[in-house]
Structure 1
Amino acid sequence: MNPTVARLTLRGLLGRRRGVLLLVVPALLLLVSAIASGSSGDKHDLAVKILGQLGLGTLLPILGLVVGTGAIATEIDDGSIVYLLAKPLPRWKIITTKLAVAVGTTWVFAAVPTLLAGLLLYGTADGLAVGYTVAALVAGAAYSALFLLLGVVTRHAVVAGLAYALVWESLIGNFVGGARTLSIQQWGLSVAGAVAEDGVIPTYVGLGVAVSLLLVLTVAATLLASVRLAGLTLAAEE
């Protein structure tokens, strides 16, 4: 991990416009949770809907998209990546450093608010709050890696990321059984279900499959992003 790259990446992610958006997402989750915590309905069902559908299913991928693409796509678009590539740094170290910053940022703005929201909604019972928090950690890392890769390979990373998160996962993945196997959201839910008590969190993908695919996606996306960044370097030198 390179401290200079990490500092520049973090500064870019926490800039005025993107920083405000990063604050809005967790604030919305906490606000909804605080309001819902005073309702008299089924606490378990309410917590599953808010933490699973709103938090893990909608807000987390949006946050991961903002952070993952913002870690490098902006630099590629405005050409400032050339100055970074001119440094004698291995391309894989640039990618892994940016990924580490993206993952850490996603955890701070997603996993921590998820834990707080879970405690507001359901307390410490059944391990539900902890389960969704762990899901936010593992899914957040996978989203960061995927969207960082998109930021390297295409100038339309945000559009592609939204298509995956909102169309594939939220629409197709929730209604077509086979599509759930290729959903980061469902992989995260499988991990959450294993952490919480049996039956507390509904899951649709086996734990072994979910963990394996989370690891494969994260590693593969990191490797492909490194290779693609090296290709950008060669093109610039030519």
Structure 2
Amino acid sequence: MMTIPLPGHGPLSNAISYSVSPLYELAASLHTLAQPSPPERFFSWSEDQLEQFESARLTQEWAYLLPLFRYGIPDTFDPVQTKGVMGVDEQYEYFVMLPTEQFVRSVTPMLDHWMQQHAIPQVYLDMQEDSDYVKGRFSLFVSSYWQLYFEENWESIAPQFVKEAERIYASVQTMPALLSYLQSICSAFSLDEENRRLTCPYDGPDDHAEQLILYPSYYYAQEPCLSKKGAHAHLLYSFS
């Protein structure tokens, strides 16, 4: 059970915030593209994207990196961490400055999950041999994907994030509005009025978070995912 305290005095926004990052949304789109059976609403988009990869001769590179996205989104793309990373130049600088050890840690859970289901991928073997090489290939692919395809996608979906931000702002004005909004994402959220805290089951031991950070996503198409990072609870969900 995850618990998040709500302020006795002061705005609810002290306990509930949200974060949006174009780079994170790019990673969410790759996570969806990496699924063996894409959700129905992304079926045409996935087919078109894979055809474009083939035209741009990126199919082989995508197959190489796909194990890093099939079972999750690497923490490298965390929305709080990448919130100000917008254009291709900022993305390039972000990955250049990102320590290789941090990159390896961020993709290791995805690779571990992959190897529970599939044969050991080449990207894993290369990472054992030269992790800087893998990070370089990863960074180049992400930059190419942004420039060739995703930047235009982001411009078309950005207004939907503005609308979602307005919904979040309205929800933190009152306790009933907040609970109704959270339950529209995940019905398991409840309010412990006596202790003035939110509670929600999650895959892990009973835990306490100081704040809840919402990650609305257009391209993420899985069930809402509640996790704990440091002192904060993070809720990733699809709003489309």
TM-score (norm 2): 0.27
Bigger RCO (CA 8 Å, 6+ sep): 2
More helix by share: 1
More strand by share: 2
TM-score (norm 1): 0.27
